[in-house]
A and B are shown apart, each in its own frame.
Chain A
Amino acid sequence: DVKVTQSSRYLVKRTGEKVFLECVQDMDHENMFWYRQDPGLGLRLIYFSYDVKMKEKGDIPEGYSVSREKKERFSLILESASTNQTSMYLCASSPHDRPVYTFGSGTRLTVV
């Protein structure tokens, strides 16, 4: 069964901490995406990557960075967590040649 796995379901961090959210896919997909989901705002794209070591800013990249050192892994980094980054974070992947996304189960991050 093909999968996108996010390392944590729930995470609580303190303001100012550096936070790493990990996403791993086993489908050999080229494209990987990080979204955040907030009530009333829907899913908003933070960053995406269409190949190893490649990254592109999405609609709301401020306060975030990403790393894609290997094809299967795409990490989202909050350099200095703030309370307005409390949210549900969703990772997705897709192959270049087919437009279907596979999503992970999400990480609910609370910054206190």
Chain B
Amino acid sequence: KQEVTQIPAALSVPEGENLVLNCSFTDSAIYNLQWFRQDPGKGLTSLLLIQSSQREQTSGRLNASLDKSSGRSTLYIAASQPGDSATYLCAVRASGTYKYIFGTGTRLKVLA
């Protein structure tokens, strides 16, 4: 059974720092992996999608990498800003299914 783990559970950094959020999964037979952002009391917004054949995806200050063989993904945030404060979740989708398995998230606080 696929399990997705995110470490750390919470992180506080000063504004301007570069930071890395980690996601690991137990079954490497994935179709793709997504990173989401969730603001307090709100739904999720998709940030980046990496297909199983890809190694990384970039959008603005965000870069997500995928190492399928080791069951790991990282989300790199450059030059963090207070507006980046949110919970970041990763989710993996197995081949042959429509559903995603989610991690429990990393709660990020960027201090001004």
Question: Is A42 in contact with B102, judged by CB distance below 8 angstroms?
Answer: yes
A77 within 8 A of B: no
A74 within 8 A of B: no
Question: Is B100 in contact with A41, judged by CB distance below 8 angstroms?
Answer: no
What is the interface size of chain B, counting residues whose CB is below 8 A from a CB of the partner? 22
Q: How many A-B residue pairs have CB under 8 A?
A: 53
A101 to B42, CA, bound (A): 15
B99 within 8 A of A: yes
Partner of B46, one of A31, A100, A105, A108: A100
By beta carbon, the residue of chain B nearest A31 is B98
Most buried by A among B4, B41, B91: B41
Chain B residue numbers with a CB within 8 Å of A58 are 99
By beta carbon, the residue of chain A nearest B105 is A42
Q: How large is the interface on A (under 10, 10 to 19, 20 to 34, 35 or more residues)?
A: 20 to 34
A94 within 8 A of B: yes
B81 within 8 A of A: no
Chain B interfacial positions (CB closer than 8 Å to A): 4, 31-32, 34, 36, 41-46, 49, 89, 91, 93, 98-100, 102-105
Would you mind naming 11 contact pairs between A and B with Cβ atoms under 8 Å apart?
Answer: A4-B43, A31-B98, A41-B104, A58-B99, A92-B44, A99-B31, A100-B34, A101-B46, A103-B45, A104-B43, A106-B43
